[in-house]
Structure 1
Amino acid sequence: MTSPGTSLHTTRAHSFNTAAAQYAANRPSYPSALLDTIERTSGRPLTGARVADIGAGTGLGTALLTARGAEVIAVEPGTGMAAEFRRTLPDVPLVLGDGNALPLADGSVDFLTYAQSWHWTDPERSVPEALRVLRPGGALALWWNTDAPDVPWNAAQADRIARHYGADHTFTKTGRPVHPADPTGRLRFTHHQLRWSRRVPLDTHLGNITSHSLFLVHGPERTAAFLAEERAHLLEHFPDGVVEESYVVELLLASP
């Protein structure tokens, strides 16, 4: 029997398919220093490497990997996100699938990457799958953009979101695990943090935060009620209408 918690997790995981264009237009990418760190820590270049980008979404991480010279195949479970991916990256191979049952051959990739997507998998299944498809000496890289915790307006916004959706809801832009569950005991992750920021129009910032699953599962009316007040709060901090979003990329890298 599916528990209510599992059902909500699944609903949130699939919610992005209804907002793929919004996601692609407003979500932040990642700094080039992220790929530098992956190469330096793993001891091998991405250029010419065979990379599988899992939960590729609209292709934000895939685009960076491809620009670095990697030979990328993308795996995405959602048809809406996959359609947006194909529109923006038509030349990159894409297959439907997820991290719990990878549609990839044994020992077929040098790098397995999860950009903002590992938390949607079941480690009891996704860890053995990762180990199965990685070549000897390969690397598993998981990363998330998280809000910089020392920026006061970030914390204030998170509090407003929590109040709007009630105490039972958690806004998951931050707080990714630094020690992922590993049922096999074979993974030894190193943890890296990379700070970066971007300046975007206010509407882009609002489109970014409302492309997160918490907003999507509660529908447009609930989102509109939040935005009506949030726009005024943000203009107090950014009267020119340009928001500086400050992030810390949480990177976890393991070479089994």
Structure 2
Amino acid sequence: MPDMTRAEGRDEFRQARSFGAAADAYERGRPSYPPEAVAWLVPQDARTVVDVGAGTGKLTRALRAPGREVVAVEPSIGMREQFSHVLPDMRVLDGTGESIPLPDASVDVLVCAQAWHWVNPDRAVPEAARVLRPGGRLGLVWNFRDVSVPWVAELDRILRDCAAAPTNARQVEHVGAPFGPVERQDFRWSHPVSAGEVVDMVASRSYVITLEPAAREELLSRVRTLLDAERPAEMPYVTECHRAELAAR
């Protein structure tokens, strides 16, 4: 998750700025995105797609297609370095949802994965509209662990016991004009994992990164104990997708 900032509280600001310190764990532990979700978010004929808040490129790599240019935008130096390590052939720029370093009307689709809740929508919505071509599309996507599975529900209980997850909403309702109605589609899928990758996924959460070292180690120890008992081979997810088209100028 990128550190796109919305300075509405010291804890949220600190969490939003924390991800670069755990870029390697983020790359190892965070899931990709199902092809069906990517196809729903991005039209097949899109030729220029920008991934804002790209992190280590989890969504970026899924956006690639023949004849399509994909540009990543990411504010964290640590995340950009990790991105360039795993995707050396792809372009990644320093920027945020509120300040995208691309020309006006230069993009067919702008996507934002695991990050829109960190932006200031009063600035990010007009900035997205600026870089999109008329009729272009804004896509917002989040992966959520499927807590209908008992061991995943227990994992979430451990996280709630030990760390304070951000309370900021996903802010989809704040997209509004000049975009049209926001559509939503959810996709259920499973991501193959090892126990170590689940630990890395937990360790890469902003509210875990910013814990005091002793509290973080206590949390991770409880997670390891759960995984030793459950021995999961996959993590079930629900991928929540939203899309809205920019009105023609």
Which residue of the partner structure matches residue 246 of structure 1?
236
What's the secondary structure of 1:140's corresponding residue? strand
How does 1:1-256 map onto structure 2 within 5 Å?
Answer: 5-39=8-42, 44-46=43-45, 49-67=47-65, 69-165=67-163, 169-170=164-165, 177=170, 179-182=172-175, 184=177, 186-238=179-231, 242-256=232-246
In 2, Cα distance between equivalents of 1:4 and 1:63: 30
Shift in CA distance, 234/138, structure 1 to aligned 2, threshold 3 Å = same
SS in 2 for 1:137: strand
Amino acid at match of 1:198: H
Moved >4 Å (runs of 4+) = none
| Matched pairs, number | 241
Provide TM-score, normalisation by structure 2: 0.89
TM-score calculated relative to the size of structure 1? 0.86
Deviates more, 1:217-226 or 1:124-133: 217-226
In 1, the alpha carbon distance for the partners of 2:24 and 2:198 equals 15
| Structure-2 separation of matches of 1:145 and 1:124 | 24
Whether the 8 Å contact between 2:53 and 2:96 is mirrored in structure 1 is: yes
Distance 1:150 1:178, change over 3 A: farther
Q: Structure 1 residues 54 and 179 mapped into 2: Cα distance closer, same or farther (>3 Å)?
A: closer
Q: Quick one: percent identity of the two aligned structures?
A: 35
Shift of residue 176, structure 1, vs aligned partner: 6.1
Q: Is the 8 A contact 1:205 1:243 kept in 2?
A: no
User: Which one is further off, 95-104 or 66-75?
Assistant: 66-75
Using the TM superposition, give the Cα deviation of residue 52 of structure 1 relative to its aligned residue in structure 2, in angstroms: 0.9
Q: Cα RMSD (Å) of the superposition?
A: 2.2
Q: Is the 8 A contact 2:129 2:178 kept in 1?
A: no
Corresponding residue of 2:3: none
Which ranges in structure 2 are unaligned for 5 or more consecutive residues?
1-5
**Do 2:48 and 2:108's aligned partners in 1 also have CA atoms closer than 8 Å?**
yes
